[in-house]
Amino acid sequence: MRTCIVIGVVTVFSSLAFAAQLSAQQPPAVQPPARQPPARQENAAPADRYWESRWEFREIDVAKLSERLKSIGIDLGIPLEGNVTVQFDVGVPWTSLTDGAAYRFDGTLSSSRLVVDRFGFLDLRTTVSYRDGVATLSSLTGSTVESSETSNDPTKGEFTGSGSLELVPQGDVSAKLKVDDISLAPITKLVASLFPSYEPMLPKDGELSGVVQFRAPIHRIDDIASYDLEGTLQADALELGGLPPADLKVGKVVMRDGRLRADKIDLQTTPTSNPSAVRMIGQADLPLTGNGPFSFEVAADDLPIGQVSEWIAASEASEQEGLVQGKLDFRIQGTGELSDRAEQLQWNIAGSLASPSIEVAGVDLGSFEHDVRFTPTNFALTPRRQSSDLPARFKVHRVESEYQFTETAFELTSLTATLFGGQVSGQATVPRRDQEDLVVDLNFRDIRPELRLPVSDSIELKIASTLSGVIDWKVPLKQLTDPVAHRGSAELIASSIMLGDASIGDLTANVSANQGEFQFDLNGDLFGGTVQGNSTAQLVASDQWNDLPARLQASQLKFDGVSLDALVDLLARRKMGLTGKATGNVSVNFASPSGLGRVIPGTVIPDTTIPDTTIDLELSQLKYRAQPLSRKLRLAGRIENDVLRIQSLRGDYADGSVSLHGLVYLVDGDGRIHPRFDTRLVASRVDLKRGLWFIGETANSFAGRVSGKTTVTGHTESMRVRGNVDGRDLDIYGLPAGNAHSSIVATADFPSSKWSVDFPSVRSRVGGGQLEGGLLLSSGRSGGVDLTSHWKTRRMDIVRLTDQLGRSSSLASGEISGEISLRGKSIQSIDDLSGRFDFKLGDTRGAAVPGLLAASRFLGPISLANQSFDVGEAKGILGQGVVVLDEFWLGSDNALVQADGKVYLRSGRLDLNALIATGDYRDIAANFTQLAQEYALRSLLPTSAILSVSELLRDRTLVVAVMGSTQNPIVRLRPVETFREETARFLLREGQRLILTGITAGAVDGVDGGF
DSSP state of 870: -
Q: Which amino acid is at 644?
A: L
Helix (H, G, I), strand (E, B) or coil at 568: helix
| Helices and strands (H and E) in the chain: how many | 13, 50
User: Is 964 contained in some domain?
Assistant: yes
User: Is 835 contained in some domain?
Assistant: yes
Phi, psi angles (nearest 5°) of residue 376 = -65, -10
User: Is 644 contained in some domain?
Assistant: no
Task: Evaluate whether 738 touches 773 at the Cβ level (below 8 Å).
Answer: no
Other CB atoms within a 10 A radius of the CB of residue 782 amount to 7
pLDDT at 535: 86
Task: Evaluate whether 153 touches 177 at the Cβ level (below 8 Å).
Answer: no
Q: How far apart are CA 1003 and CA 307, in angstroms?
A: 106
pLDDT at 412: 94
Phi, psi angles (nearest 5°) of residue 70 = -65, -25
What domain range includes position 894?
Answer: 830-989
Other CB atoms within a 10 A radius of the CB of residue 839 amount to 20
Q: How far apart are CA 812 and CA 803, in angstroms?
A: 10
Q: How far apart are CA 397 and CA 388, in angstroms?
A: 10
806: which residues sit within 8 A by CB, 6+ positions away?
none
User: Is 963 contained in some domain?
Assistant: yes
Other CB atoms within a 10 A radius of the CB of residue 561 amount to 14
Q: How far apart are CA 721 and CA 713, in angstroms?
A: 6
User: Is 863 contained in some domain?
Assistant: yes
User: Is 888 contained in some domain?
Assistant: yes
DSSP state of 886: E
Phi, psi angles (nearest 5°) of residue 185 = -60, -50
Helix (H, G, I), strand (E, B) or coil at 463: strand
Task: Evaluate whether 941 touches 985 at the Cβ level (below 8 Å).
Answer: yes
Cα of first residue to Cα of last residue in the chain, in angstroms, is 140
**Distance, C-alpha 916 to centroid of its chain:** 68
Q: How far apart are CA 7 and CA 135, in angstroms?
A: 12
Return the bridge partners of 236, or none: 207
What stretches of 380-517 show up as alpha helix (H) in DSSP?
none
Write the DSSP assignment of 650-709 as a string of letters: EEEETTEEEEEEEEEEEE-TTS-EEEEEEEEEEEEEEEHHHHTGGGGGGGGGEEEEEEEE
Task: Evaluate whether 910 touches 850 at the Cβ level (below 8 Å).
Answer: yes
Write the DSSP assignment of 793-846 as a string of letters: EEEEEHHHHHHHTT---TT---EEEEEEEEEEEEESSGGG-EEEEEEEEESEEG
Structural domains in the chain (count): 1
Q: For the purposes of burial, counting CB atoms within 10 Å of the CB of 151, is it exposed (0-12), middle (13-18) or buried (19 or more)?
A: exposed
Phi, psi angles (nearest 5°) of residue 701 = -90, 0
Helix (H, G, I), strand (E, B) or coil at 1001: helix
- Tell whether omega for the bond before 169 is within 30 degrees of 0, i.e. cis: yes
Q: How far apart are CA 903 and CA 815, in angstroms?
A: 19
Q: How far apart are CA 537 and CA 469, in angstroms?
A: 22
Q: How far apart are CA 446 and CA 449, in angstroms?
A: 10
Q: How far apart are CA 116 and CA 118, in angstroms?
A: 5
416: which residues sit within 8 A by CB, 6+ positions away?
398, 399, 400, 401, 423, 424, 425
User: What pTM did the predictor assign?
Assistant: 0.60
Q: What is the CA radius of gyration of the chain?
A: 49
Q: How far apart are CA 599 and CA 549, in angstroms?
A: 10
Return the bridge partners of 416, or none: 400, 425
pLDDT at 862: 54
Q: Phi-psi region for residue 730, left (φ > 0), alpha (ψ -120 to 50) or beta? A: beta
What stretches of 856-915 show up as alpha helix (H) in DSSP?
none
Q: Which residues of the chain have pLDDT under 50?
A: 1-45, 146-155, 273, 315-320, 594-608, 801-812, 997-1011
Q: How far apart are CA 516 and CA 620, in angstroms?
A: 42
Q: How far apart are CA 842 and CA 464, in angstroms?
A: 71
pLDDT at 344: 83
Q: For the purposes of burial, counting CB atoms within 10 Å of the CB of 674, is it exposed (0-12), middle (13-18) or buried (19 or more)?
A: middle
User: Is 924 contained in some domain?
Assistant: yes
What stretches of 832-892 show up as alpha helix (H) in DSSP?
852-855
Q: How far apart are CA 208 and CA 237, in angstroms?
A: 9
User: Which residue, among 222, 141, 218, 168, has the nearest Cα to 17 in the 3D structure?
Assistant: 168
Other CB atoms within a 10 A radius of the CB of residue 222 amount to 8
Q: Which amino acid is at 704?
A: G
User: Is 918 contained in some domain?
Assistant: yes
User: Which residue, among 7, 159, 145, 189, has the nearest Cα to 80 in the 3D structure?
Assistant: 7
Task: Evaluate whether 132 touches 152 at the Cβ level (below 8 Å).
Answer: no
Q: How far apart are CA 464 and CA 450, in angstroms?
A: 5
pLDDT at 979: 59
743-750: long-range pairs with CB below 8 Å, 24+: 744/708, 744/710, 745/720, 745/721, 746/720, 746/721, 746/722, 747/718, 747/719, 747/720, 747/721, 748/718, 748/719, 748/720, 749/717, 749/718, 750/716, 750/717, 750/718, 750/719
